[in-house]
Structure 1
């Protein structure tokens, strides 16, 4: 249900998102996941993707498809945090077709925060942690 997600981002589908079967291709769903997560981290957590000392790397992702999405429509991408650790965070994402109450797809995505130079795990920076706490359910 849409109300379970504290953050929602509108993402318009693009003509190129559809495949020959007339619906959004499965690989695009992961792009929507990445978009809603990083939009939130940049805007609400101050993530500096170009020069910040810590970066989030995807360690795991998965998606369950419940209904088709298709161009033209606007995907409402809901985001919440399921688990917040020292250096990692597990998100849940719900993708909704416009104003639909039920998700067309749900998925999880795990970020591990690492030092930009060494790629070794580091504690999630405080501003990001504060933003992520606002998404805990």
Structure 2
């Protein structure tokens, strides 16, 4: 089973009241929101991704999640991120979500971005600054 130490980057994300569903735990769709948050926060802060006016944007083309245990408000989520594969125009991230007091993951998943020209939506090489930031998260098996 994965551990938080398997990931070079971590972001603490507070759960919100609205994240809980009628069963008293964070609804499964919110886990994907946490994936999106840890990835894009890193790309913006470390890689200089300009989500508003940049010529290149990342489009999600594949996601997946394996659920292990529930999270619940007001728990803090440790969202852990790594790069499992870095291609010319795409990147596959590995993500682990951990509760604030658990060493066991609540969920583990993956997310694939293809970087494209904002206007044409055609794949383009990952810009140098983004590539450098993503290389810092690469892990080898």
Q: Stretches of 4+ moved more than 6 A in 1?
A: none
What is aligned with 1:33? 35
Partner residue, 2:55: 53
Secondary structure (helix, strand or coil) at the match of 1:104 reads strand
Q: Please tell me the root mean square deviation across aligned C-alpha atoms, in Å.
A: 0.5
Structure 1: gaps spanning 5 or more residues: none
C-alpha distance in structure 1 between counterparts of 2:125 and 2:102, whole Å: 37
Matches within 5 A, 1:94-109: 94-109=96-111
Q: How far apart are the structure 1 equivalents of 2:136 and 2:89?
A: 17
Give the aligned partner of residue 86 of structure 1.
Answer: 88
- CA offset at residue 51 of structure 1? 0.8
* Whole-angstrom CA distance in 2 between matches of 1:74 and 1:108: 20
Counterpart of 1:10?
Answer: 12
State yes or no: 1:124 paired with 2:132: no
What TM-score, normalized to structure 2?
0.96
Distance in 2 separating the partners of 1:117 and 1:17: 34
Q: Distance in 1 between matches of 2:104 and 2:59?
A: 29
Quote how far apart the aligned CAs of 1:100 are: 1.5
CA distance in 1, matches of 2:50, 2:98: 28
Query: For 2:104 and 2:89, how far apart are their aligned partners in 1?
Result: 32
TM-score, normalised with respect to structure 1? 0.99
**Counterpart-to-counterpart distance in 2, 1:105 and 1:5:** 14
